[in-house]
Amino acid sequence: MDKQVKAILKKYDNRKEFLISILQDVQAIHHYLPREALQQISDALGIPMSRIYSVATFFKAFSLEPRGKHLINVCVGTACHVRGSVKVLESIEREIGIKPGETDSGLKFSLDAVNCLGCCALGPVMVVDGAYHGKLSTAKAVEILKACD
């Protein structure tokens, strides 16, 4: 049994209605939802695994696969789109060799395309490990990723 997961469940009093919050907290620790953790949540809350899976696969915030060391979110919201985020995303895909939603085999990068990060004035924008990078060009985006170890 995972102690961290147990602590999260306790924080929410084992209440069913907090399932999504609980999954978010687990995801924040592991960067994904390990099967064992889901089983533990299922047992504690009395929610069948099938329903937990339906929630975990419905919301974009959740991943059932392990994620890479560096999380890249490229904004493809409308404001970024009209300012050329498609080109930026494509150059990132070429650089690290994966598509949005994927993680590379070395677990170094996970790439996601997200809809609007809410700082449209800076478009095109991407967030790498929580740090915002704005006014990107294809070259600048690639440079930022090259600097990740």
Partner 1 sequence: MGRLKSPGELATLRQAILAKRDPNRPCITVCSGTGCSAYGSEKVFATFEAALSPLKGKIDLRRTGCHGFCERGTMVVIYPDEVCYVQVQPEDVPAIVASVRNGKILERLLYVDPVTGKKITLEPEIPFYRNQQRLIFGNNRRIDPQSIEDYIALGGYDALAKALNGMTPEQIVGEIKKSNLRGRGGAGFPTGTKWETVRNAPGEPKYVIVNCDEGDPGAYMDRSLMEGNPHSVLEGLVIGAYAIGSHEGFIYIRNEYPLAVENVGIALRQAEEYGLLGENILGSGFNLKVVINRGGGAFVCGESTALMASLEGQVGEPRAKYIHTAVSGLWEKPSCLNNVETFANVPLIITNGADWYRGIGTERSKGTKIFSLVGKVNNTGLVEVPMGTTLREIIYNIGGGIREGKRFKAVQTGGPSGGMIPEQHLDLPIDFDELTRVGSMMGSGGMIVMDESTCMVDIARYFISFLEEESCGKCVPCREGLLHMREILDDICEGRGKPGDIEVMMRLSATMKDAALCALGQTAPNPVLSSIHYFKDEYEAHINEKRCPAKVCKALITYSIIDEKCPGCGICVKNCPQEAIESQGKKKPAVIHSENCVRCGICYDVCRLDAIEVE
Q: How far is the CB of 59 from partner 1 (least distance, A)?
A: 3
Peptide bond just before 100 cis, omega within 30 deg: no
80 half-sphere exposure, CB direction, 13 A CA radius: 28
Query: Which range, of 1-9, 32-40, 64-72, 121-129, touches partner 1 by CB under 8 A?
Result: 121-129
Contact between 65 and partner 1 by CB under 8 A: the answer reads no
User: Strands, E, within 21-96: which ranges?
Assistant: 70-75
Cα separation, 137 vs 21, in Å, equals 36
State yes or no: residue 21 binds partner 1 (CB under 8 A).
yes
Pairing of strands 70-75, 109-114: parallel
**Closer residue to partner 1, CB minimum distance, 103 or 136:** 136
Interface residues toward partner 1, by CB under 8 A? 16-21, 23-24, 54-55, 58-62, 76-84, 87, 90-91, 94, 114-123, 125, 132-134, 137-139
